[in-house]
Amino acid sequence: TPFFPEALRPRLGGSDDSALAKQRAGAIANGTGAVMTGAEIGLSPMQALSNVFVIHGRPSMYANTKVALVQAAGHHIWTEESSETRAVVCGQRSNDPPGTPPRRGEMTIELARKAGWAGKNKNYQENPTAMLYARAASICCDRTAPEVLKGIAAFEEIQDQPQPTHAGAPPVAAAPVTVAEI
């Protein structure tokens, strides 16, 4: 449908019918995974299609979505500092006793360079403030309300990681396996 996000649509680059069918099947699987993941964390199907992405076979969401979910659950998230060189985001659980120090998420451009993200991802050159904020906000949300996010990583976090390889894992079948083949 027109509501299916561009990021989840198949890349219709080939004229080969089997390649096109494989691309469509992958797009449908990613969309289904996004909707199912969204349901686990309280997003409607349309919200999930817009905010949950499958990267390297893992569901992820934007850091801003993580902040929205944590705040919707009644917890407090605020930005202490945000610049081209450093971002600090703080969080407080709604049931924390008075005087409990806030949980902090911090990211600096130096740490991003050291990790290799700033050289690999052009967004760090084009908009370092947003990228550092996204990393700091994601860290803060994970520390403040892990039960809300259920371990789902931030899009910005997964996109900076290399595609994982699973040593010893069998290759994924190109087509569904029939009972007779098993």
pTM exceeds 0.85: no
pLDDT at 90: 98
pLDDT at 4: 65
Measured at the CA of 148, the angle between CA 144 and CA 149, to 5 degrees, comes to 90
CA–CA distance, 53 with 38 (Å, rounded to integer): 10
Burial per residue of 80-109, b for 16 or more beta-carbon CB atoms within 10 angstroms, e otherwise: eeeeeebbbbbbebeeeeeeeebbebbbbb
Helices (H) and strands (E) in the chain, counts: 9, 6
Q: What is the DSSP letter of 26?
A: H
CA–CA distance, 72 with 112 (Å, rounded to integer): 29
Instruction: Name the β-bridge partners of 8.
Output: none
Average pLDDT by stretches of 10, the chain with 182 residues: 63 68 80 88 90 85 95 97 97 96 96 88 89 96 96 84 57 46 42
pLDDT at 31: 85
SS (H, E, C) 86-134: EEEEEEECCCCCCCCCCEEEEEEHHHHHHHCHHHHCCHHHHCHHHHHHH
pLDDT at 139: 96
- Cβ proximity of 155 and 67 under 8 Å: no
- Cβ proximity of 160 and 112 under 8 Å: no
Q: Phi and psi at residue 59, in whole multiples of 5°?
A: -75, 145
pLDDT at 22: 80
